[in-house]
Amino acid sequence: MVRPSQLIHPPREPAPVRPAATVLLLRDTPDGIEVLMTRRSAHASFAPNAYVFPGGRIDEHDARAHAVATRRVTQSDLQLTQAIAALRESFEEVGVLLAHDAEGRPVTPEIIAAMDRSTAEGTAPFADQCAAHGLLLATAQVFTFVHWVTDRDLPKRFDVPFLVARMPEGQTPAADETEQFEPVWVRPAAALERHRDGAFAMLFPTWRTLDRLAAYDSVDAVLQACSRETPLFVSCPRAGLLGGKESRYMEHDLPYGELALVCPDGQIVHALDWQSEAPVALLKNVQRLTAPNPGVMTGPGTNSYLVGDAATGYLVIDPGPNDPVHLQRLWQAAGGDIRWIVCTHSHADHAPGAAPLQALCTTPPPILGLASAPTSRPAARFTPDRALADGERLHLGTSAYGHTLRVIHTPGHAANHLCLLLEEDGLLFSGDHILNGSTTVIDPPDGNMNAYLASLDRLDAACAEWEAEFILPAHGHAIASARDAIGRLKQHRLAREARIAQAMRDCPDGTPDDWLPIAYADVPSRMWPVAARSLAAHVERIREQAAAPDAP
């Protein structure tokens, strides 16, 4: 857990969330699915003129209206209440009523016209009106598609499932002309294109939901995908600044973890633009300065980290390439007070800057790490001033206050790779072992897949022991939910290995060049030369396992 004392922005309490429900009314057309949307009032206090789906708050009557609702065996009480609220809002806002009589006959236009859509005080509750006309709501045919919780930065927040249902035949949407206007049927892809062109304003959850909906070619396919009674995703977005403007992200988006680290309460103050001119403060005791070496293998560049503060002095993790301007900026950010320089491994984008940075310091700090193995490439030779022992602790500060980094040997990407865990704040500095947005290359003979997977297990155990929630990689933004990220990465590696093993079985007389396009068919061919290195590591591991005495 990050110490509150190290947070850059004072904590604040986000607005409480209120229960709500929204429904996407769907219909099939020769051109694909269409969804019903309406335009919000131009005078609305929130999102004026935005196109939305019918929906609103769950009111006190919805939970008491189960008697006029139909129900699936697997539908929970909460899901039923949410479906009732969504159908009520659909009726009030666009005049569409998903209901039938006791014999299953669809509601007639005459009954719909006789019911009061008004929400004014004194109007009979929606459920009472349904009961008076002998109607049962078709809530058994309403399913949860996705689930959103409003961003933490907004003054009004809702906990809202986005439900889906088939549009009933014989009904025509008619907006209430108070809150909603101009009902329109639109294909998800068309709505997204118009939104990108600036002609169809939508809120972030709306267009991200449409983006997911666009993957389906029929209403039946959508309803089938929702039949397990769990949303396809649950998201509470976060926002940062990109190009000086607000930009929102879901949990699987690359910047999300960094926003959770720097602005846990949702303040929109953190700049996400990649630059190499100035250090980026992640916490009071952690700064990142990205080297100006972007590329296919380095992403936005190599992240050099400064851990510490003016009272304790600083430790530098991965000074990066021998770039004099970058090293000068690192030295200046530390005020010249660098106590240690640690290289996570000896690759050319991580370690060459160590000695030149050391030379800038009045009191030269020791360069720490592990010496490169004989298996390393000539361009990756490295010898530290002192080798770091597995489990060793590097402490900045006093016994009462400071920053303690625990060394964890993690061979796999390189034989001399190590990671560092900041104990007091639960931060894992992962070097190249774990990256944000890509998987690291395992390049034999210095790289080894067995060692890599075993090191992932070690990092998972360390994160569990120290309650580490965030990973700070050598390339890319910070990663949240550290143990989940490690688990997904291991699962991905094993799934890739299964595909390689299958390719080897299908082409027993083949070569790695034959297996590569089969096992990496989902990867752009321009990346195959890089993927070939990791394929070689997987093949080596597969053959070792097959040759083991207890192999099946």
Name every residue whose Cβ is closer than 8 Å to that of residue 194 and which is 6 or more positions away in sequence: 200
Structure tokens at 92: 């009030």
Q: Going along 243-348, which residue ranges are E strands?
A: 245-249, 280-283, 286-290, 303-309, 313-317, 338-342
Cα 83 from Cα 64, distance rounded (Å): 13
Report in angstroms the alpha-carbon separations of 43 from 39, 77, 89, 114, 181.
Answer: 11, 36, 20, 29, 12
Burial class (CB in 10 A: 0-12, 13-18, 19+), 227: exposed
Catalytic residue among 349, 425, 443, 460: 349
With residue 209 as reference, give the H or E element that holds it.
helix 204-213
Side chain identity, residue 384: P
Dihedral Cα 68, 73, 77, 80, nearest 10 deg:
-50
Token pair, residue 369, equals 């790490």
| Secondary element (H or E) of residue 497 | helix 482-506
Strands 402-409 and 418-422: antiparallel
Cross-strand bridge partners of residue 34: 27
Per the DSSP assignment, residues forming a β-bridge with 57 are 20
The verdict on whether 28 is a catalytic residue reads no
Apex CA 355: angle with CA 418 and CA 401, to 5°? Answer: 60
Q: Which residues are catalytic?
A: 349
